[in-house]
Amino acid sequence: MTWVSDARRRLAEDERATRERLAGLERERDGILAASESANSDDEHDPEGATIAFEREHTASLLSHARRHLDEIQAALRRLDEGSYGTCGSCGRPIAAERLAARPTATTCITCATRSR
């Protein structure tokens, strides 16, 4: 198996898992929204309302992160198709195989990634 097919396999697995996670989070969000419809609208004074508000915001944050990760996966798959996968978007040098194994969506080499912090 070449490194390209291995990267494509890992990215496809990550995409599948991320889509499943998104579906689960969307179901969870829908349940929270349904619960908030029947809850007291005074979140500040209703302990249950505060919990629902926290859960709603927490789930929204998790959804946002998962969507962003899905976008990164799809961009990495496009780079694979274009032949630019594994090339640093900042300096143009190769991204180390170890970095790509740990973070298949990486767009920069470790040198450029640590420099931008």
Tell me the pLDDT band of 87, cut-offs 50, 70 and 90. very high
Each residue's pLDDT tens digit, 102-116: 999 999 999 999 986
Tell me the pLDDT band of 16, cut-offs 50, 70 and 90. very high
Q: For residue 2, what is the DSSP state?
A: -
SS3 94: strand
Domain locations in the chain as residue ranges: 3-85, 86-117
Ranges of H-type helices in 1-117? 3-38, 47-82, 97-102, 110-115
Tell me the pLDDT band of 10, cut-offs 50, 70 and 90. very high
